[in-house]
Homo-oligomer: A and B are copies of this chain.
Amino acid sequence: MSRLLVRSFALSLDGFGAGPNQDLQNPLGVNGPDLMQWFFPLRAWRHMQGLPGGETGVDNEMAERGFGGLGAWILGRNMFGPVRGPWPDDSWKGWWGEEPPYHVPVFVLTHHPRPSFRMKGGTEFHFVTDGIHAALDRARAAAGDRDIRLGGGVSTIRQYLQARLIDELHLAVRPVLLGAGEALFHGLDARALGYECVEHVAGERATHVFLRRRVDVGPTSA
């Protein structure tokens, strides 16, 4: 069965996975780009943008690991865009332009229904209004024996963690202080939920920590 994976998710030293006050101007929240400074110089990022070059060190190797063997993605609505509440129309098609970097079906969690649509390069956006388990079921059906990547944001990852549905998380811990924002672990006992660190690797601009759900701990029932 395909695994549900979090990959290359950046975390500040003080525990934030996004800055405060996300909006169209600050899709990662205020100071959120500090989280991503490890990622932007990499070949992996430039390749996503269709650009040549980029750094090829440890950080890049860790980032590239996150793109192999994926058959579907799941995103929280705020990862898909800044629009809140009912969709006013179908004009917002994501942050990524005509050809998003997914190339597989992407399931977007939302409370507000919207028709699926297809973009250049094979990305399909589907909108799931009946919760995280339904989104995962649909992603599994789409992914076949490939893996599913859970893109975020913080509250979406927290919901899947709480339900013990994530098989593995790769966090890129950044030596920066955000001071405020969305805390990944606050009030959530990941140890009691069955997660443990299985690997840590020092990169150029982040420490890469891999957490895995212990094999003796299953997901909670739906």
Give the residues in chain B near A180, CB-CB below 8 Å. 189, 191-192
Q: Does A183 contact B (CB under 8 A)?
A: yes
Please tell me if A45 contacts chain B, counting CB pairs below 8 Å. no
The segment out of A100-108, A139-147, A168-176 that lies at the interface is A168-176
Measured CB to CB, the closest approach of chain B to A216, in angstroms, equals: 16
- A31 to B196, alpha carbons, bound, how many Å? 13
- Cβ of A15 and Cβ of B185 under 8 Å apart? yes
Chain B hits for A183, CB < 8 A: 15, 186
Contact: B202 with A177, CB < 8 Å? no
Task: Give per-residue flags for A200-217: 1 if the beta carbon is below 8 A from chain B beta carbons, else 0.
Answer: 101000010101000000
List CB contacts (< 8 Å) of A77-99 with chain B: none
Residues of B within 8 Å of A192, CB to CB, are: 179-180
Contact A15 B189 (CB under 8 A): no
Residue in B closest to A193 when the chains form the complex, CB atoms: B179
Closest B residue to A15 by beta carbon equals B15
Instruction: Tell whether, in the assembled complex, residue B173 and residue A191 are in contact, meaning their CB atoms are under 8 Å apart.
Output: no
A190 located at the interface, meaning its Cβ lies under 8 Å from any Cβ of chain B in the complex? yes
Interface pair A13/B171, CB less than 8 Å apart: yes
Q: A15-B14, A183-B186 are in contact. Are A177 and B195 (CB under 8 A)?
A: yes
Tell me the chain A residues, 1-48 only, with Cβ under 8 Å from chain B: 13-15, 31
Q: Are A189 and B200 in contact (CB under 8 A)?
A: no
Contact A179 B186 (CB under 8 A): no
Contact with B along A157-188 (1 / 0, CB 8 A): 00000000000000101011111100111100
Min CB–CB distance A208 → chain B (angstroms): 9
Say which residue of B14, B191, B202, B207 sits within 8 Å of A185 (CB atoms). B14
Question: A185 to chain B: which residues have CB within 8 Å?
Answer: 13-15, 177
Could you tell me if A179 and B207 are in contact, using CB atoms closer than 8 angstroms? Answer: no
> Is A134's beta carbon under 8 Å from chain B?
no
* Interface status of A197 (Cβ within 8 A of chain B): yes
Question: Could you write out 14 A-B pairs with CB less than 8 Å apart?
Answer: A13-B185, A13-B197, A14-B190, A31-B191, A173-B173, A175-B200, A176-B197, A177-B190, A177-B191, A177-B195, A178-B191, A179-B193, A183-B186, A186-B186
